[in-house]
A and B are shown apart, each in its own frame.
Chain A
């Protein structure tokens, strides 16, 4: 590959790539990102290759390995072009039929289309699926159309055009101004104005300057950055190069956690390809600007996502935050000015440069323009990655995109912002989503985790879960975070175990004040959010645990007993056989009885009973069970 020496070279290459391609050629765009791969996309890919060979179609049908389009629970997913037919949950057994019917004859196979659970309608186009209909996939869309290992695919879609524009038509100061005017805010969760950060680093004394992409995504259940990096690494790289040029940086880092092997691999490939094309290295595109970028693999510490800890880790030290009150934008890696932005922030940059700030300001809200990617998980019907304009309501995300709560249960709360975020209850579902609104509700944007909870979630247990996560991830350097989390976890566990005391809540309030005010870094100061927000909105649940020894959601084992309703039990022996501690006694035609002494309260009987005859009782004082009662038979197979 010869180096691109001017924007003209880039344009010629793009035309050349497009000339070589036949847009009418049948192509299978198959998602091989982490989600679909886990569901067997690898085998599916092999099956397609084999079938194409089998039917002697080599050269006539193309296969493209693409990135994630978000609806991971319905994977493996693929799109057949040119007809743009989306298929979900495709198995290797379906491949022969797809090749024969869809690719060769253009027929649609109904059973592989998306089918709406409620209406039963099938969707022939992606836009007809409710999950996609309400999204605005500014950043995610391209992932589904390109092979992330191919720079040509990215260039064919207009990739690196923004870089050419930045290098040859704009001064660095103008780029900073454009980003400032576009009001792009940090997508890692802080919401700090990106343009101002760039300006700070640009004006800070010291050479060399660094630009860094933060892909140390550690929130449980979140995979926004991962998906973007696996699906379209070049857009992040292009943003980083433009930023480096605007800031005057000569070295860039992409900090990826090692647990994301595909992201590491694809980013490494992308960097190498960009170097081979003269889009990185000395004299980029003949402009005289030079930049080196390398991937830094994180060793798997949540705290390393914090800016100063991340920079300490890049220096090769233990990833612990620094106590300085000087921004890393001024003194970061090796005390040099370092501009750190989230992967998603960098990915926005090429679009803003190419289309201008006015275009960007029209998306979302004026103070919070653009889109945000959320990972929607938990008890909703449709889970996956969603990209929505800022200002959309939580209700729209959960009910329109997410399709409502699973099994028609009652919504209780949505947890946003990752482990350090908070829960938001029903009464605030119509709040528009942007940085300040979520903070105002006691939660935060975070990097975009969104966990939906229903009536079966105990909020004290939820708080304990997140505090436990943070306890394990705290670096332990500062005392309020390390010991505060230890005490919080102990108090919350006590409450869940039925050992809560009247002082428990005042202790929580005291510890959270100390942690919030005095912790060294954001891990400690925000670690109180899951506790304070559950306490704010669900104080009654805390009090029920402490004062009545009752878990309203019937989750906490120590406060919940299992009991078989003698009027409903059909003596089917299923619970009896499944009980891991042999606590259930029963025989044919005799109502089963749980021995409360032996019962470990695992809930398997509750989950396995086909007649809904096992009840959960809290406080754990089940009615006295008598062995030997006969079964009251119910009408022919009645099951509720």
Chain B
């Protein structure tokens, strides 16, 4: 991992260390790429896809998630094309379905920057917003914090949500490691208490539907 590569980002040449991601290399060059599920201290997760960029490699153009894609010599990267901007705007609008049209945090800020209409899909789909976009930062932090590992994802697809692992409801509330990570601002010292539902709450809620 000592090799150095040169790649082109938005027309400028950037030197980066082998093994770095495009996102890290762009940051080195002072180019900002938006992220929601990414955190420097954690393994890349690749779930929110807002960090997509266009790459050109051997003449082939692809869209990839910059938080996961490793840098390569001669790679050409474009971080802001009309298409990329369109996709990011769309992702933000989609995020507001579970996040809610009034979602806070950086989601809201990015919506302004990308001219996204947060009520576009959230108003037509009958989903009760939870102010959560399922980025998994809290879940991963909880797992990596080496304390109690109290929360995880429950359900699949559109029923996916974050919940307490059964029996761990009481374990949460002492470490606050996940505070401040949340891109919507839901999980914080002033967020709901308890911050997550229990599995039995979710099952009861599902029965109603």
Contacts and interface: CB of A to CB of B under 8 A. Distances in A.
A518 B48 CA distance: 9
Interface stretch (A340-348, A408-416, A482-490, A592-600): A482-490
A436 B158 CA distance: 33
Interface stretch (A93-101, A368-376, A506-514, A625-633): A506-514
B70 interface: yes
Interface in A181-214: none
B90 A510 contact: yes
Contact of A323 (B47, B90, B153, B157): B47
Given A325-B68, A486-B97, A518-B91, A475 B46 contact: no
Given A473-B157, A483-B95, A517-B87, A478 B47 contact: yes
Given A477-B136, A511-B90, 18 more contacts: A323-B47, A323-B65, A323-B67, A325-B64, A475-B157, A476-B156, A476-B157, A476-B158, A479-B47, A482-B157, A483-B95, A486-B125, A487-B97, A487-B124, A510-B86, A513-B87, A514-B90, A517-B83
17 contacts: A472-B157, A474-B156, A475-B157, A475-B160, A476-B158, A476-B160, A479-B50, A482-B134, A483-B94, A483-B97, A486-B97, A487-B94, A487-B97, A513-B87, A513-B90, A514-B87, A518-B63
Contacts of B156: 301, 473-476
A514 B64 contact: no
8 nearest CB pairs, A to B: A323-B46, A476-B160, A483-B94, A517-B63, A518-B49, A514-B90, A474-B157, A476-B157
B155 interface: yes
A363 interface: no
Contacts of A480: 49, 90-91, 94
Which range contains the number of A residues in contact with the other chain? 20 to 34
Contacts, number: 107
B157 A517 contact: no
Nearest to A472: B157
Which range contains the number of B residues in contact with the other chain? 35 or more
Given A513-B87, A520-B49, A490 B65 contact: no
B179 interface: no
Contacts of B157: 471-476, 482, 485
A519 B49 contact: yes
Interface of A: 301, 318, 322-326, 471-480, 482-487, 490, 510-511, 513-514, 517-520
Contact of A478 (B49, B86, B124): B49
Contacts of B196: none
B98 interface: yes
A478 B158 CA distance: 11
Contacts of B83: 513, 517
B121 A483 contact: yes
Contact of A471 (B46, B52, B158): B158
A519 B65 CA distance: 9
B86 A484 contact: no
A514 B44 contact: no
A538 B124 CA distance: 25
B156 to A, nearest CB: 6
Contact of A520 (B47, B87, B121): B47
A96 to B, nearest CB: 52
Interface string B130-166: 0001101000000000000000010111111000000
Contacts of B69: 325
Interface of B: 44-50, 52, 63-65, 67-70, 83, 86-87, 90-91, 94-95, 97-98, 121, 124-125, 127, 133-134, 136, 153, 155-160
A237 to B, nearest CB: 32
Contact of A517 (B47, B52, B136): B52
B58 to A, nearest CB: 15
Most chain B CB inside 10 Å of its own CB: which residue of A318, A322, A473, A514: A514
A395 B94 CA distance: 41
Contacts of A479: 47-50, 91, 94-95, 133-134
A323 B43 CA distance: 10
B135 to A, nearest CB: 8
A320 to B, nearest CB: 9
Given A324-B68, A325-B68, A517-B83, A476 B94 contact: no
A513 B124 contact: no
Contact of B86 (A325, A487, A513, A519): A513
B46 A520 contact: yes
A318 B136 CA distance: 14
Nearest to B72: A325
A518 B37 CA distance: 14
Contacts of B87: 513-514, 517-518
Nearest to B69: A325
Contact of A486 (B63, B90, B153, B158): B158
A87 B69 CA distance: 58
B125 A323 contact: no
A473 B157 CA distance: 7
Nearest to A490: B125
A602 B97 CA distance: 33
B158 to A, nearest CB: 5
Contacts of B95: 479, 483
B68 A484 contact: no
B54 to A, nearest CB: 9
Contacts of A490: 124-125
Contact of A514 (B48, B91, B124, B158): B91
Given A323-B44, A487-B97, A520 B160 contact: no
Contacts of B134: 476, 479, 482
Contacts of A326: 70
B160 A487 contact: no
A541 B68 CA distance: 41
A483 B83 CA distance: 19
A301 B134 CA distance: 20
Given A476-B160, A479-B47, A520 B155 contact: no
